[in-house]
A and B are shown apart, each in its own frame.
Chain A
Amino acid sequence: MTRHLACLGVVGAFGTVLLIALLRLPAFGTALGPLAQFYVAHAVLDLHVTNVISAISYGYRGFDTMLEEFIFFASITSVSIILRNTLETNDEDEAAARGRPVVERSDAINLVGLIWIGLTVVLALSLIVHGQLTAGGGFQGGAILGTALLTVFLVTSRKTFERISPDVLVKVADSAGAGSFVVLGFIGAVAGVGFLGNFLPLGEAGSLLSGGVLWLINLAVAIEVSAGYALLFKEYLREVFDAESSDEAASAEG
């Protein structure tokens, strides 16, 4: 009881200080600050990109986005390291032989799944490719593509999920996405426009191939995020399915 009171006291103090600080912010709904006004005024002229948020993320503040992507990459890698398993069994027939029920998929789930996965993948690819034109971008589209892959597992089986996301492809895509961000930056440095500077023709604002190196960074981030989510799901599925079968094998022998 005293522990709960102490917790409440600490949280109450923190909440009061936070509320006082928040109420000193500029009033809700007032005009933009000077830096945001600069970005809105200059994004189309400097970078030929109509989505100001993408211009900030991958253009003006591309270095911050690169480091955030490394945080994501590090967290996915640490999941692989933490959930390392010594026994690896991928045999679903063995699992069925042990008495686990094998349920047949209904036609309704197949149909709804097919439509749902198709629409989700198309939406994700559209958001990725049009990242510099309208709302969307690499992070958003990559996350949606990752959930489309998980929906494949939910609708079908683990075998199909493993078939569409082979180990080598997912790991290479993850590393290549993170690495090509840095490589694009270094190409800019070598070309004389500074790290992550633009060295490609900028194109016309509003067309698909505009933004120069910003569009390539967009694609690299999308590949990295979607491959990272796929790797995450694979690791957790391996933990659940293979740990079960290895536990059962251990208890059957011992």
Chain B
Amino acid sequence: MMAWLPFAIVGWIAAVALYGIVASRNLVNMVACLTVLQSATYLLFASIGYVRDAAPPILYAQPPPERTVDPLVQALCLTDIVVGAGVTAMLLAMVLQIHRRTDTISTRALRERRRR
């Protein structure tokens, strides 16, 4: 019964982060919610790759372990984390530039501005 709990948590975090992105009134808040959504995908990778009673996929010890956890999803995940930090930095730089030009970071004010 506890087997569905990790996936339920992934779905919950993804739904909450998506709600934050869609409904946030502050651009910095939106970027932070995007970071939370990325964290949900990292948790999904970790949940997919887990194998019970298994060792990490480091075959350095002699003899090597028989059961290891999934190395493929970990390889996908680790580049994603570093690249995600860079993309978040770029998004925050864009928010800074928006504030420089329009003196506001409220989505409501920006929407009014675009309508004018």
Contacts and interface: CB of A to CB of B under 8 A. Distances in A.
Q: Do A and B come from one complex?
A: yes
B23 A7 contact: yes
Contacts of A165: none
Interface residues of B, number: 50
Given A29-B52, A71-B87, A56 B72 contact: yes
**For chain A, which range describes its interface: under 10, 10 to 19, 20 to 34, or 35 or more residues?**
35 or more
A122 interface: no
Nearest to B5: A28
A82 B99 CA distance: 12
Nearest to A140: B78
A14 B18 contact: yes
Interface in B66-103: 67-72, 74-75, 78-83, 85-87, 89-90, 93-94, 96-97
Contacts, number: 151
A44 B59 CA distance: 8
B interface SS class: helix
Nearest to A51: B58
Interface stretch (A34-42, A105-113, A188-196): A34-42
Contacts of B51: 29-32
A149 interface: no
Secondary structure class of chain A's binding surface, majority of residues? helix
Given A50-B59, A52-B57, A135-B56, A79 B90 contact: yes
Interface of B: 3-8, 10-12, 14-15, 18-19, 22-23, 44, 47-48, 50-52, 56-60, 64, 67-72, 74-75, 78-83, 85-87, 89-90, 93-94, 96-97
